[in-house]
Structure 1
């Protein structure tokens, strides 16, 4: 009977043969075959049988001060009761591989940790339990100043707090007269203004709106930008028939400037990858042109 119960797989063509074999075995034992569902008493069936796998799993369970039911087969889910009385079921192989950890206790502890983190800072957690994705889910809570928030649990556990409070704090730290003076300084770029005020762009633009100020700024000089890390080499503009070099460009972005906007990098880049013409010409990188010459 144990062998029948632990049968894992069987081919469809073998099912009828298997049933006949079981019926024959039952006849030999003097047991009448009926179609009434048979509920097997696994603890009684396996009573007295030893299992090394069960002993290992039992040790893992007892490490956590939990208890496991008697052995009911290597493929069966065994009921485990943790030290808090929560019941769960796991296979012996899983217990051997991963040990035992009560998911209910674990979730309760995570929820209490999240709640205490908020309460210690004077806030209130609105949600009553840990959600199915743990700290990765969104939780509703109120900060110590009454601002309602919806953030991921991990955001709180990592030490972050109310975004409204952070925003208000930033606003309070900015001297109004200094802000107006720097905001109206047309000799500075916007990024330079942000550095001088030590604020992010969100606070900067909201203050502009609050004080009804237009951001007059100096445009960034693209020529002094360091783009050396982005350069992938020279670009050659080729005659579509002879494939002779018409012009060399230091890098792809230089095409726009040197052609005074006639040729655009975004229009060339895609066609260059497909080996197709852009603006009536072929475009290749320097190293690719050397290969092209060898193959022609």
Structure 2
């Protein structure tokens, strides 16, 4: 993960938004240091996309103050638009143009001189390994190639803040990891990423900080490790081949959970080195040897379930 800076690329306070009688955002605060990856998670309908639309100037908030890349969004929205890029889950690629023509069109929209636009387009085609496909229509591209072209189009204007709204939805695991490497490279170059995703492992892998949005409110925020420590459920599973040793271990660890069908014992633990050493020392003093030991620590799925009351996997199914 990246090293967090103290300069805010995104600073929003008191964001509120309603559509008719439905309150979508109920006064949330968002602070994203420059040069980091911030991930916003939440169940479907929690307000993630609305948050991105407000911060990227596509929708006006009912209340709140917003500064993006140092610019006040209400007073100078054009400066904000010049500093940001947006890549949504639905590609903005024009299928009637070639890959290169899509990039040149974006260069024209950013008012780049023709020579600079061509230079920038060639540079991005090389960076995203799309040179051979530059003269082809995107309709012939794979899903991963279209995503790369879409992101390349976002980068034509050299944005300092990029909003990625579910950028890897529908991609196979290998292509998704390729996109992760591209995102890391962007951040290493000083770009700030605001990421929404339905893949919790993606947020866990990429994000410096994660916020969980539910019913229009931020219910938790922190590093992935901090969020995981918020929920119970960490344990060590000890497996035995001898039922006698299982019984002895159960007596040695009061409050543990015993499973006589699988000869396993679950002992509450945070999974840290110190607690594991203490557990093993306790087994040694009791003269008990376990045949197998596995450690389970809460993951973001556990956090999602604990704080929203719904499993993240259910949200993936609903999103399809």
Structure with the bigger RCO (C-alpha within 8 Å, sep 6+) is 2
TM-score range, shorter chain: under 0.3
**Structure 1 length normalisation: TM-score?**
0.21
Larger radius of gyration: 1
More helix by share: 1
